[in-house]
A and B are shown apart, each in its own frame.
Chain A
Amino acid sequence: MIIGLDVGGTHTDVVLLDKHGLVNEIKVHTDATNLFKTVLDGLEKITLGVNPKDIRRIVLSTTLTTNSIIQGKSPEVGMIVSSGPGIDPMLFRTNRHYYPVAGSIDHRGRRIEAIDHHEIKAVGDILKKEGVRHVGIVGKFSARNPSHELEIRRILRGQFEEFFLGHRVSGNLNFQRRVATTFFNAAVYPIHKKFFLAVRRSLDQQGMNIPIQILKADGGTMNFRSSIGFPGQTIFSGPAASIMGATAFAPKGEDVLVFDIGGTTTDMAILIDQAPLLDPLGIELGGYKTLIRSLKSKSIGVGGDSVIRVINGKITVGPDREGFAMVYGGSTPTPTDALAVMGKLEDGDTEKAFSGFQAIASALGVSVEKAAEMVFDHACRQILTEAEAMVVEINSKPVYTVHELQEGYQVKPKKIMVLGGPAPYFADYLEKISAYQVKPVPRWKVANAIGAALARTTCEVTLFADTERGILTSPEEKFKKNINADFSREKAIKIAYDLLRNKAMETGADEEDLELELLEDQQFNMVRGFHTTGKNIRIKAQVKPGLIHRYHSVVEKLSE
């Protein structure tokens, strides 16, 4: 059996699945001030009467790291950045203890200017004085050559509790994002580690010696051990859980839009042949762009509890929220109240919704029922418009080869899947006003927890070969080898897959879920003075996000 747990803003969903389907599903209240208690509460209730030995896997999706970053409640972190020439690194400043230092590496990974040991020691002394215990070290082009980052750590070794090196967060180029990502990892490291150690200990005490997997923003999982150094990967796992929940039921070979309609926002994403579309670079959080792999998703300020206004005879929905809908005890009318007026809700105080819609109806000069319909219509159309804008944006993403420009894949969804809520009403109405085929995701109330439970372990590997310099390297994987002039692309691909397979197994993948694919596969002849002097090879491979194979049968059962 497996457990999926997804912490949401107001409640936490937990499911228990076995080969025959959904064994149990529960909701517990989310205590934002005590997520540990929330998670344990959920796990305890779902395992009531279950033999711990029957549970193979637990996947957790929490808001722990996201909240910690948004609220800025992280402990002091020291950042040492070595950029060399280019945009002033002070513009990328992440926090108070931020120190640009000498040293420069160029685009091919050649050392241009050395690290200044005296300077590093001096910065180390200042950081210690400032009470910093965790230090991020980031160099420009460290994804090509990490030696300067390693050198800085060597100089400071023993003086700080933990180091976070920029080249380990991603093989992608983008100095500013590398700085932000490294900072996030360092900043949430203590709270993440403490939290999951506590969960681990507590499970062990209950005799549940089960591996814990943590959901990431890309809709994949990683085990607790490998998450310790990279806790930033777990930010924004909530939307990922929902999207993976839809993935379970998505049609094969088709493009599908997924809407997760929550209280404050609607999150939207795209599935292509049952796999979520990923963001090419990474997530953006708290004003910082990062290299954290994530689903390509868009969040708009239209949800069930969005505030409705009538301005100059025109309806607006959101982007703000003022607590619950009136039907559930709130004080401002919302799209959920519109549903109540339309008689689509089973619970709540419908009278309240009616009285709330009175003002809207008179501002619009129509009946209360008509006003509710107009508001619901407006909210649905706004969601559709934004979704279509997202598709346009995805399709207009620049490409860099003639081949891609001519034959590049264009996303053309004809279907929409809705979860959150209440999904069936939204689905019906969206289908009525559009040309899409719209369906609620089966088990839409807990699809997010199901998504977490069934998500497979994912990761990515970037490999870079430069035969002119005789170097094969993947700094992110601590991999470096000397190569000869006859090194080939085929060899590079094989090595990249080997590295990827190892990484996946180490981070908790199941052998049978290693669906590997190439994301980048390029080879350039390097010509100097009309002679070919080498090859420049770039390979990027990933474990494709998706669901674990072992539970395919579950999905079929759940769809019934």
Chain B
Amino acid sequence: MLQAKRKTGLVFFPAFDWAIDPTHPEREERLLYTQDQVLEEGIFDIEGITEFKPDLVTINDVNRVHFCVPDGWHVMTESHFISAGGAKTIGMAVLEKKVECGFALVRPPGHHAMRVVHGARGFCNVNIEAIMVEFLRAAYGVGKVAIVDTDCHHGDGTQDIYWHDPNTLFISLHQDGRTLYPGSGFTNEIGGPNAAGTTLNIPLPPYTSDEGFLYTIENVVLPILDDFKPDLIINSAGQDNHYSDPITNMNFSAKGYAQLTEMLKADIAVLEGGYSIEGALPYVNTGIILAMAGIDYSNIREPDFDPEKIRQSSQVTEAIKEVGKAVLENWRNREQLKDRMQKAASGRFSERMRRIYYDTAGITEFQKEKIRICRDCGGALKIDTSADTGSKVLAVHIPIDACSACIEQGRQWYEEAGSDRFQKAYLQNRPKDKYYVKELFQR
């Protein structure tokens, strides 16, 4: 009888009745063939693999992470409550030791959703990993978390949410932003002045194959994880690096994904993108599940798999080594980089201005972000945001481990917000696990 070496939890929620629109890559059919493969392989029958029904997240769970404009009910669909809920269900099962690790095979995905949400970006509305992580922090007191994003697209949403958080290490492996949406994720993006080095980007050249991915995991990601010593490792397990993916240009295989999973030993994996719904997903998902559960996956293979066809060139290999070097250097020098950034900030605050485009919803947002420079915590954060939807709001975030000065600063910003400039003000008071909204009426 087939038995898992690691007790593994699965939430499978293919949302067979939900699509962004009928021909969109994020449509009903996306996990249909994965379901067929997983059922035919008898995955749910394996001793030690448990399938859980997803819980729904609550609006409070969402508000811990996001500032939804005008509110969560406008941003979320039923499907988002369930897919984020699926991740949460797996997180709880792991933390409560019902299983040793787990995989939320859910849709829609979330890693392009940033802290402020005016609408859908990159097929994502809310960030399901972040909602899970912040729930686990609030409910179980989880401290240091590492999120390794192996989706082919830069996890810019997750990066944005954890940009100022020194307790969350975010590492994104992705196809070079010069060649793919969303066009960001370069090695010099290393986090804000209070959290420099705990955001790391590993842009890989197009046509990177198994060799390049596994080299990077072994020589860059694993040593950094060893240093950081997280309480929990999360894998944003996007599957669009596959050689057959229609919207990307990488050469990763199902067996490669399984090997990566085995090496990374994530506690929790959450499905992100992956749009080769017939040629890749059935095999990649089967491989990931078997690898998580510690079951032999050596016979998992796509029907058209040919290692020669996807072998990476020596230029690609060299480029990957260079990127790895740069990332490791940033990691080793993170304290100096942090010092330099804090000193460079004029006075007690650091500011940045951004224009964010929501490709899925067709919205443009302008942000002015201000962070309190702090050595004792992640720092109070204020975001002045407006969008071409006509929304204009102030969002204030007090981090979960905030020092008293940052708590005070956050409160003050929230109280100061007036109707002269904003329609609403929001406050995430994470030490109190409370979310406040202030309606401001225009003159």
Do A402 and B40 have beta carbons less than 8 Å apart? Answer: no
Do B42 and A536 have beta carbons less than 8 Å apart? Answer: no
Residue A11 at the chain B interface, CB threshold 8 Å:
no
User: Which residues of B from 289 to 303 have beta carbons under 8 Å from A?
Assistant: 290, 295-296, 299-303
Report chain A residues within 8 Å CB of B339: none
Of A271-279, A365-373, A519-527, the segment with at least 4 beta carbons within 8 Å of chain B is A519-527
Do B42 and A107 have beta carbons less than 8 Å apart? Answer: no
Chain B's nearest CB lies how many Å from the CB of A102?
13
**A406 and B79 alpha carbons, distance in the complex (Å):** 10
Residue B413 at the chain A interface, CB threshold 8 Å:
no
Known: A405-B54, A522-B16, A524-B32. A177 touches B45 (CB 8 A): yes
Report chain B residues within 8 Å CB of A399: 53
7 A-B contact pairs sorted by A residue (CB < 8 Å):
A85-B303, A86-B299, A88-B299, A398-B13, A405-B54, A525-B28, A526-B29
Contact partner of A403 (CB less than 8 A), chosen from B17, B33, B36, B39, is B17
Report chain A residues within 8 Å CB of B283: 85
Residue B426 at the chain A interface, CB threshold 8 Å:
no
Known: A106-B303, A173-B39. A402 touches B45 (CB 8 A): no
**A405 and B40 alpha carbons, distance in the complex (Å):** 23
Shortest beta-carbon contacts, A-B, top 7: A176-B42, A85-B301, A107-B36, A173-B39, A173-B40, A401-B17, A112-B303
**A530 and B21 alpha carbons, distance in the complex (Å):** 11
Do B14 and A174 have beta carbons less than 8 Å apart? Answer: no
Residue B12 at the chain A interface, CB threshold 8 Å:
yes
Do A402 and B82 have beta carbons less than 8 Å apart? Answer: yes
Chain B's nearest CB lies how many Å from the CB of A180?
10
Chain A's nearest CB lies how many Å from the CB of B339?
49
Do A400 and B14 have beta carbons less than 8 Å apart? Answer: yes
Which partner residue on chain A sits nearest B304 by CB separation? A112
Interface string of A396-420 (1 = CB under 8 A from B): 1111111101100000000000000
Known: A87-B290, A177-B45. A397 touches B299 (CB 8 A): no
Report chain A residues within 8 Å CB of B54: 398, 405
Residue B362 at the chain A interface, CB threshold 8 Å:
no
Which partner residue on chain A sits nearest B42 by CB separation? A176
Which partner residue on chain B sits nearest A395 by CB separation? B53
Interface string of B7-22 (1 = CB under 8 A from A): 0000111111110001
User: Which residues of B from 239 to 297 have beta carbons under 8 Å from A?
Assistant: 246, 278, 282-283, 286, 290, 295-296
Report chain A residues within 8 Å CB of B56: 405
Report chain B residues within 8 Å CB of A526: 29
User: Which residues of B from 328 to 359 have beta carbons under 8 Å from A?
Assistant: none
Report chain A residues within 8 Å CB of B303: 85, 104, 106, 110, 112
Residue B35 at the chain A interface, CB threshold 8 Å:
yes
Number of interface residues of B (CB under 8 A): 46
Residue B41 at the chain A interface, CB threshold 8 Å:
yes
Known: A87-B41, A531-B23. A400 touches B13 (CB 8 A): yes
Do A87 and B42 have beta carbons less than 8 Å apart? Answer: yes
Do B79 and A402 have beta carbons less than 8 Å apart? Answer: yes
Report chain A residues within 8 Å CB of B32: 524, 536
Do A86 and B45 have beta carbons less than 8 Å apart? Answer: no
Known: A398-B53, A402-B15, A525-B28. A532 touches B40 (CB 8 A): no
Residue B139 at the chain A interface, CB threshold 8 Å:
no
Residue A289 at the chain B interface, CB threshold 8 Å:
yes
Chain A's nearest CB lies how many Å from the CB of B208?
23
Chain A's nearest CB lies how many Å from the CB of B109?
16
Contact partner of A173 (CB less than 8 A), chosen from B16, B36, B79, is B36
Do B12 and A398 have beta carbons less than 8 Å apart? Answer: yes
User: Which residues of B from 36 to 69 have beta carbons under 8 Å from A?
Assistant: 36-37, 39-42, 45, 51-54, 56
- With A400-B14, A406-B78 already in contact, 12 other A-B pairs whose C-beta atoms are closer than 8 Å: A85-B302, A85-B303, A173-B39, A175-B40, A177-B42, A287-B1, A398-B12, A402-B17, A403-B17, A524-B29, A526-B29, A531-B23
Do B53 and A527 have beta carbons less than 8 Å apart? Answer: no
Report chain A residues within 8 Å CB of B15: 400-402
Do B41 and A86 have beta carbons less than 8 Å apart? Answer: yes
Known: A87-B299, A140-B40, A527-B22. A107 touches B17 (CB 8 A): no
Do A174 and B45 have beta carbons less than 8 Å apart? Answer: yes
User: Which residues of A from 98 to 112 have beta carbons under 8 Å from B?
Assistant: 104, 106-108, 110, 112
Report chain B residues within 8 Å CB of A398: 11-13, 51-54
**A323 and B56 alpha carbons, distance in the complex (Å):** 50
Do B27 and A525 have beta carbons less than 8 Å apart? Answer: yes
Do B45 and A107 have beta carbons less than 8 Å apart? Answer: no
What is the total of A-B residue contacts with beta carbons within 8 Å?
113
Report chain B residues within 8 Å CB of A524: 16, 28-29, 32
Which partner residue on chain A sits nearest B32 by CB separation? A524
**A522 and B53 alpha carbons, distance in the complex (Å):** 20
Known: A397-B53, A527-B29, A532-B22. A85 touches B299 (CB 8 A): yes
Known: A85-B299, A87-B2. A525 touches B22 (CB 8 A): yes
**A238 and B302 alpha carbons, distance in the complex (Å):** 44
**A398 and B50 alpha carbons, distance in the complex (Å):** 11
Which partner residue on chain A sits nearest B18 by CB separation? A402
**A401 and B360 alpha carbons, distance in the complex (Å):** 23
**A173 and B11 alpha carbons, distance in the complex (Å):** 19
**A173 and B56 alpha carbons, distance in the complex (Å):** 28
Interface string of A458-497 (1 = CB under 8 A from B): 0000000000000000000000000000000000000000
Interface string of B285-327 (1 = CB under 8 A from A): 0100010000110011111000000000000000000000000
Contact partner of A88 (CB less than 8 A), chosen from B14, B35, B296, is B296
Which partner residue on chain B sits nearest A527 by CB separation? B23
Which partner residue on chain B sits nearest A529 by CB separation? B246
**A177 and B46 alpha carbons, distance in the complex (Å):** 11
Report chain A residues within 8 Å CB of B22: 525, 527, 532
**A397 and B23 alpha carbons, distance in the complex (Å):** 30
**A289 and B43 alpha carbons, distance in the complex (Å):** 12
**A398 and B39 alpha carbons, distance in the complex (Å):** 13
**A106 and B79 alpha carbons, distance in the complex (Å):** 29
Give the most central of A140, A396, A398: most B CB within 10 Å.
A398
Do A405 and B82 have beta carbons less than 8 Å apart? Answer: yes
Residue A91 at the chain B interface, CB threshold 8 Å:
yes
Give the most central of A173, A402, A531: most B CB within 10 Å.
A402
Residue A163 at the chain B interface, CB threshold 8 Å:
no
Report chain B residues within 8 Å CB of A104: 303
Interface string of A486-528 (1 = CB under 8 A from B): 0000000000000000000000000000000000001011110
Contact partner of B29 (CB less than 8 A), chosen from A176, A401, A525, is A525
Report chain B residues within 8 Å CB of A87: 2, 41-42, 290, 295-296, 299
Interface string of A16-54 (1 = CB under 8 A from B): 000000000000000000000000000000000000000
**A522 and B301 alpha carbons, distance in the complex (Å):** 28
**A173 and B35 alpha carbons, distance in the complex (Å):** 10
Chain A's nearest CB lies how many Å from the CB of B39?
4
Chain B's nearest CB lies how many Å from the CB of A464?
10
Chain B's nearest CB lies how many Å from the CB of A529?
7
Which partner residue on chain B sits nearest A532 by CB separation? B23
Which partner residue on chain A sits nearest B43 by CB separation? A87
Do B41 and A175 have beta carbons less than 8 Å apart? Answer: yes
Residue A426 at the chain B interface, CB threshold 8 Å:
no
Report chain B residues within 8 Å CB of A164: none
**A91 and B4 alpha carbons, distance in the complex (Å):** 12
Report chain B residues within 8 Å CB of A536: 29, 32
